[in-house]
Structure 1
Amino acid sequence: MNNKNKKSSNKEKWEQAVESTIKRFPERKETFTTSSDIEVERLYIEKKRSDDHLGFPGEYPYTRGIQPTMYRSRFWTMRQYAGFGSAVETNKRFRYLLDQGQTGLSVAFDLPTQIGYDSDDVMSEGEVGKVGVAIDSLHDMEQLLDQIPLDKVSTSMTINASASVLLCMYIAVGEKQGVPLEKLTGTIQNDILKEYIARGTYIYPPKQSMRLITNIFEYCQHNVPKFNTISISGYHIREAGSTAVQEAAFTIANGMAYVDAAIESGMDVDSFAPRLAFFFNAHNNFFEEIAKFRAARRIWAKIMKEHYQAKDPKSWKMRFHTQTGGSTLTAQQPDNNIVRVTLQALSAVMGGTQSLHTNSRDEALSLPTEESARIALRTQQIIANESGVADTIDPLGGSYYVEELTDRMEEEVNKYLDRIKEIGGAVQAVEEGFMQREIHQNAYETQKNIEKEKEIIVGLNKFKVDEEVNPDLLKVDEALEKAQLASINTIRQERDQEAVNEALTALKEQTKIADSNLIPYILDAVRLYATIGEICNVLREEFGEYTG
């Protein structure tokens, strides 16, 4: 009997022996599963795996991490997502967080900014500065980044439909600070496909949106080479109700669509692939999340090397940011959220993330207070400096359970990728509503399980207490909207309107030329203090709007 069969036989003998114990002490459930409905066995034993399947850290297929030393050289980038009210108020929060030891900025924009409307547009009424910072023109971006050295601080911007405009504003501020473009670092989310799937802040139809994305790829390749031109996001897919498997599968499928679009536009895969970045969620099923990160890295490496024939090893590496799960937080007993976030953050670190945002305990109720944001940041700092998990690479590598779960995640993700390929790719799958239906169905099933207490949420459907949820919440002052409207009016009065009109006309003409890169023309308009609404309206007129 070979060693593998012997181990399997020993496990079967153990399973038979344990049956008498189970009769005396029945297990809590008939079947244990992960959130992706992968069955969890009672016990895992060693399984032979080839070295090229697992590999070493920093080597293909990167299951164990994309860097040879990972956190032994330096910790992940610690970001705290922030943005509310005016640029001035948000700048104060940014500088506070940097003083507290944060190592990168992450900007939340208000809804009008995300969908390309000025603060004084009728569509913006009541939404200015509410879920993020209001940015109307270069003037606001200058205030947002005041006294923040862009050659030393990396900035991530959660912006999609209007990403081209916000990127140009960021570049223009860098120019005003005297920072060479090749030293600007950061990330724009710029992932429009997941907006159609899960989030909804889109403006233009898919084809035109993909043109803007590839324009950004091309422009940054030549001008801002250290800036990550896209953060392909599974976070919002997961927030909409997907499983961990669906999150990874749909994100990777979207990534392939962007690679295809860039190649079709004439770019060589190795010219842009090293600047692709990903953005994942971290939920509560600790081991499944770690397995998800490891499997996603391996799948992407194989796709880039084998399918796209990328030659540069940097093109094979999946670099990703992680944010803890906002949808897992409860308004009930909000301090419990500190524990949830700690477990989620720990899974991201043990899964090998490159940067991390930890949600604040009060985010189920409002934008986070300074105290809550500080606790969330301290959570990362304690994991980094006190837990010891960053002292060795891939600390759960070799765990019988984690390795088996990583393999199963890879299998299930690939099944989805095959289905999406049969449909015609991610863009076609989005247009046909395939991903949306899959997410909605799982969200429905999850809600039913919570209501029937098949899935326990501590403080929500079990272990409840009589409480009055009334913590110290952050409220955006209504006066900020009036101040923002006054500010944009002043900008319009003081700028060179004739030059602005000329720049917007030039942009309009270039939209009609299919192979023209629009980024330099958007940048010209931004430098002259054209507003986000004015620029996006030019594109709306030429591209049309997507209605779903």
Structure 2
Amino acid sequence: MNKPLDHSVAEGLDPTSAHTAWEAEYRESLPTERPIENVSGIPIQPLYTPHDWPQYGADDPLGYPGQPDYTRGIYATMHRGRTWTQRQLVGLGTPADYNARLLGLIDHGATAVSLIPCNSVYRGYDMSSVDAELLGTCGVVINNTEHMQRSLQGVDVGEVSCAMNDPSPFTLLAFMLIAAERQGTDWKCITGTSNQSDYLSHFVANHMFYRLSLAGSRRVLLDHIAWCKQHVPRWNPMSVVGQHMQQAGATPAEAMAFTLCTAIQNAEDCIARGMAPDDFLPRFTFFFDISLNFFEEVAKFRAGRRIWSRIARERLGAKDPRSARFKFHGQTSGVDLTRQQPLNNIARVTVQAMAGIFGGLQSLHTDAFDEALATPSEFGARIAVATQNILREEAHLTDVIDPLGGSFYVEALTDQMEEKILSLIALVDEAGGMFKAVESGLVQRMIGASAQRFQRRIESGEQVVVGVNAYQVDEDASARPFIERPEPAVMQRHQDDFAAWKAARSTAEVDKALDHLSRTADDPKGNLFGAVVDGARAGLTHEEICARLRRDLGFGQPLIVV
């Protein structure tokens, strides 16, 4: 192999003199340049050289994919062997509406299910407790097992991975399991993720659907992890979420640090309950926002991956290599999308998706360009799926593993992100761990301060947002994408059918199932998620389960900090 030509030597300059000459010319050309730093507060230099990456020139400075510390990826083949799973958040109207859209997206390349329910469901209510005009506008209305069966009609949940955007007490998963049971599907074949299982991120940043008290949510999550390990062993019951916190204003470094702190907290809780690390850690997954800060996001994921590898092995005592794998789903950041000039969002989503791919994700959701306006339209969702197909098939982003590895900038930035993330983890440790840091409001205050800093950058014009504070154009509002809403008559039939179904149930059986939930809540040795599954089998509705556990475990009241 030919040795690369050193141009500085060829021109009679040693590398040090060449760098000095470049720097002098640069400073002469830009004598008053404004210092630049990324969102996480790391100063960004105009040029990176071997001097910025101390490991440069060492034997094997990065390691290899599939080998600790996993900087270059958690699998030996990464996307060259198996590309990321394409998950599109889908949810609109009735279960029949959802099913039609889901099957259409699968026909266009989606390879897994990601179900998002109506906000009424997120808040813990059945459709009978919500104004009709609000139903199904941002997700599908699923209140019982029958609704789940209709939503997934034509999808073999024993073959297709499913993500349930389903906060504690995980009623949607319970409905899905009973629907699978009725169809004769072995639960041991079912794969997927409880995509909203991270109660701490909800307490910090998702107040709208924080259902149960902080202590009650902790209990249900641990029961959920233990129960799924026994009954649905291929299911991922723990999705540690950084997305909510970053969308609330956390910097990329803060989002990664707080997510890793949450994973540590949940792992230590499982160990305290008597579980061995290698029994549950292989089923821990992570869920992150991918912002437009391209290189910062790539460095965030590379740094987080190698930090988690060390945490799992050195702090938590894992021995199984699978326990140290940082498996993560990425969703392009909705907060980066704009209502103004919404077609520009296609470019934004493409850049975000590339950052996630180069960062080594295992699963990807690309936002539709009209998501800043409402629930994504079918037209917008098709473009979002096609964006992934184009990046994979036409742009050939899967040809090389970790193609940015070895870049002086990327490696220096990864090291700096790692340092910042570790300092934040130490801060949370000093506060007594993530549960106490969240309970006291420490994490919320830090995120709020970061959100304010970034907003000030936008308002001052330091951070340009195309179409919002620069490059503005007069727009015809009527030219914006059509916002789909459920057909009122169809939604009314859905409500009528649900009311008739409830009226036909045995009141005695409903009361018996609710009493079983309460007895389990009162028994420290009882498994609450197992009782939720029993309740779904007995015909309890989503609100009935949530309301009873809110009564017994306490209503969710997130801490508001100023």
TM-score, scaled to structure 2: 0.92
Deviations 1:226-269 (A, max 9, x none): 11112111111111111100110111111111111111111111
Q: Does 1:134 align with 2:141?
A: yes
2:42 to 32, 38, 53: 38
The aligned runs of 1:4-15 (5 Å cut-off) are 13-15=17-19
Contact 1:116-1:162 at 8 Å conserved across structures? no
Q: Which moved more, 1:360-369 or 1:109-118?
A: 109-118
- Could you say which residue in structure 2 is the equivalent of 1:528? 538
**Among residues 144, 152, 167, which one is paired with 1:145 in the alignment?**
152
Q: Aligned partner of 1:205: which letter? A: S
Q: Residues 429-481 of structure 1, C-alpha deviation per residue, up to 9 Å, x if partnerless?
A: 11111111111111111111111110011111111111123222222334454
CA deviation string 1:126-178 (max 9, x = no partner): 53222211111111111111111111211111121332x22111111111222
CA-to-partner distance for each residue in 1:261-301, whole Å, 9 max, x for gaps?
11111111111110010001111111111111111111111
**Counterparts of 1:540 and 1:490 in 2: how far apart (Å)?**
26
Aligned to 1:120, the other structure's residue is in SS state helix
Question: Partner of 1:474 in structure 2?
Answer: 484
8 Å CA contact 1:115–1:161 kept in 2: the answer is no
Where does 1:50-129 land on structure 2 (aligned, <5 Å)? 54-121=62-129, 126-129=133-136
The structural deviation recorded for 1:18 is 3.2
The Cα shift of 1:52 comes to 8.0
The 2-side partners of 1:355 and 1:57 are apart by 17
Partner Cα distance (2:271, 2:14) in 1: 52
With over 3 angstroms needed to count, the CA separation of the structure-2 counterparts of 1:516 and 1:60, relative to structure 1, is: same
Is the CA contact (8 Å cut-off) linking 1:233 and 1:279 kept in structure 2? Answer: yes
Q: CA offset at residue 10 of structure 1? A: 6.5
C-alpha contact (below 8 Å) 1:366/1:475 kept by paired residues:
no
Which of 259, 278, 283 in structure 1 is aligned with 2:291? 283
Shift of the 206–14 alpha-carbon distance from structure 1 to 2, 3 Å rule, reads farther
Shift of 1:426: 0.6
* Counterpart in the other structure of 2:4: none
Counterpart residue number, 2:176: 170
Matches within 5 A, 1:429-440: 429-440=437-448
* Aligned residue runs from structure 1 range 432-451, under 5 A: 432-451=440-459
CA RMSD of aligned residues (A): 1.9
| DSSP 3-state at the match of 2:289 | strand
List per-residue Cα deviations over 1:162-199 (Å, max 9, x = no partner): 32x22111111111222111110111121110011111
SS in 2 for 1:537: helix
Cα distance in 1 for residues equivalent to 2:383 and 2:399: 23
What secondary structure, in the 3-state scheme, does the structure 2 residue paired with 1:150 have? coil
Aligned to 2:211: 203
Report percent identity of matched pairs.
Answer: 37
2: CA distance, partners of 1:56 / 1:529: 51
- Which among 345, 359, 366 is matched to residue 351 of structure 1? 359
CA contact (8 A) 1:53 1:61 kept: no
Which whole-Å deviations, capped at 9, do the CAs of 1:34-78 have from their partners, x for residues lacking one?
A: 111111112212234367873210111111111110112121101
CA contact (8 A) 1:129 1:480 kept: no
Whole-angstrom CA distance in 2 between matches of 1:271 and 1:209: 21
Structure 2: gaps spanning 5 or more residues: 1-7
2:5: which partner in 1? none
Amino acid at match of 1:177: Q
| Gap change, CA 1:10 and 1:262, over 3 Å in 2 | farther
Shift of 1:308: 0.6
| Residue aligned with 2:115, SS | strand
Q: 2:313 aligns with which of 281, 305, 308?
A: 305
Q: Distance in 2 between matches of 1:213 and 1:463?
A: 47
CA contact (8 A) 2:296 2:413 kept: yes
Cα distance in 1 for residues equivalent to 2:462 and 2:15: 29
Paired residue type of 2:275: M
Aligned to 2:325: 317
Out of 14, 26, 30, the position equivalent to 1:26 is 30
The CA deviation at 1:21 is 3.1
Within the candidate set 228, 248, 260, 1:252 is matched to 260
Residue of structure 2 equivalent to 1:222: 230
**Number of aligned positions between the proteins:** 540
| Structure 2 residue matching 1:43: 3-state secondary structure | coil
TM-score normalised by the chain length of structure 1: 0.95
Distance 1:543 1:281, change over 3 A: same
Q: Which residue of 2 aligns with 1:333?
A: 341
Structure 2 counterpart SS, 1:379 = helix
CA contact 1:116–1:161 (8 Å) conserved in 2: no
* Letter matched to residue 474 of structure 2: D
Contact 2:192 2:234 in 1 (8 A): yes
